Amino acid sequence: MFNTIKAKFILVILTIIILGVGIPNFFLLQQFRSNFAERSIILLETSLNVARNGLVNCMNVHGKKDIPNILESVSQNEWIDHARIVDIEGIILYSLNHNEEGKRFFEIDSEHKFGNTRLINLIEDKGVYSATEPIFNAPECQTCHNPSQEIIAYLDIDTKLTSAENRFYTGTIHSVYLGIAILFILFILLYILFNKFINNPLKKFMYALDEVEAGNLNIQLPQETDDEFGIIEKHFNKMVNNLKDSKRKIEELHFEQLQHADKLATLGELTAEIAHEINNPSAIILSRVDYLQLEAKENESLKKYEEDLNVISSQIDRVSAITSNILRYSKKHSKEFQKVNLTKIVNESLAVLHPRVRKKRVIIKKSIPDEEILVNGDQVQIEQMIINLVNNAVDAIEEDGIIDIQLESKNGKAVIKISDNGKGIQQQLLDQIYSPFFTTKEKDKGTGLGLYIVNNIIKNHNAEIQCSSKINEGTQFKISFNRIMNE
């Protein structure tokens, strides 16, 4: 019920009004009630004292015949409603209303109470204060009354509420009803005002957010006011426009990247075909060189070319190794996780990159053990990861730089470190380098997908990657695989 802002707002406001207005008024009414009660009690006590003293004097001097006069004199006060004398059996002996005399008291006024002490109480439904007091059998009274009686009779006097008291008690009831009516009116007004100024703008804003979430970036909120909601609408419209522009740019970039990827795929196929075509004449040349090397061993005239033939043979072997690596890397492989040797993968990946590294005059420093370091993974994916990282290092170095590649086994982990002394990456960009299409390279030199692919390969292998970098000092990537120990 109170899960909405509207319900909470109205509840809080009404609570504040009740606490801020109701409580002070409650204490004020209680004070008025106390003051009126105190005034009535003083009046009653005074009347009781006058009546009791008058009765005692009257009985001692004139006897019972002056009792009605005493009651009449007490009733001279305009606020006195009733004055009676009741015997211990509850029979009314004397009363201002003579018709009550001789009747049982409790049949007339059942709300009254008698006791051994003076009792004063408010009878609200009749609007009177009632006071009763026992008349004790004093020594001077025992000449006419049985000495064994402790109480001779009871004196009962009622005072009417003053007009101010009546207005007060009536007004108290009216105030309660008025307060309820005011709270109801406030509730309706708050409900209407909240709907108009808060709830309706919020509904529009929530609807607009749902539309944006659904992909509708053409929605705009009308800026109808200059208040806080107007500011929110202004910023929302600006945000949607920025999202729309960003989406358009991403779509354009995505299309360009797809075109570029298609070109790269075509180029890869052409490269594989060229490598295959190069292999054929290389094989022929190599076979001819082998034949000439054999002839040179027997033919003295060819001996002087033996060293040249060895150089040609070694270079042809090198060409064959390069084309073999290109063919192997360009082939599509099914993703299959199995035991792979990181030592072999790192060496073969560097062999593929050798021509580019040499062209950029970059020095490769390797620290790779001879032993097998086995991990569970996909060889092609790991090769792609290493090639992407080394390519990035080459791009960062420009020329005449150093790339340090280390492979080590430590604490059950196989760790590859690829470090360069290039231009580095700004610290505030390190959290973004694995995002798709993010690149710090020039527009025609990077797709922004290399490190995104690397990060996905790392996740596929349950490995970890860390990057540390300093501007103009270089960058290091550290990749940790779970090693499979040699049996």
Domain membership of residue 308 (yes or no) is no
Domain boundary at 133, 168, 203, which? 168
Q: 126-144, pLDDT tens digit by residue? A: 667 777 888 887 776 766 7
Domain membership of residue 71 (yes or no) is yes
Number of folded domains in the chain? 2
* Domain residue limits at 377: 334-484
pLDDT band at 65 (very low <50, low <70, confident <90, very high): low
Q: 93-110, pLDDT tens digit by residue? A: 878 777 888 888 887 777
Measured CA to CA, the distance from residue 346 to residue 340 in angstroms comes to: 11
User: How much is the CA Rg of the chain, to the nearest whole Å?
Assistant: 55
pLDDT at residue number 375: 92
CATH of the domain at 377: 3.30.565.10
CATH of the domain at 114: 3.30.450.20
Closest to 253 measured CA to CA, from 389, 449, 440: 449
Domain boundary at 99, 133, 168, which? 168
Quote the tokens at residue 355.
């021509």
Domain membership of residue 224 (yes or no) is no
Measured CA to CA, the distance from residue 452 to residue 458 in angstroms comes to: 10
Domain boundary at 142, 168, 194, which? 168
Domain membership of residue 210 (yes or no) is no
**What's the mean pLDDT in 24-49?**
71
Q: Name the CA dihedral angle for 387, 390, 396, 398, rounded to a multiple of 10 degrees.
A: -100
CA 424 to the chain's CA centroid: 38
pLDDT at residue number 130: 78
pLDDT at residue number 58: 61
- The pTM score is 0.43
Domain membership of residue 303 (yes or no) is no
Domain membership of residue 86 (yes or no) is yes
Domain membership of residue 323 (yes or no) is no
Domain membership of residue 320 (yes or no) is no
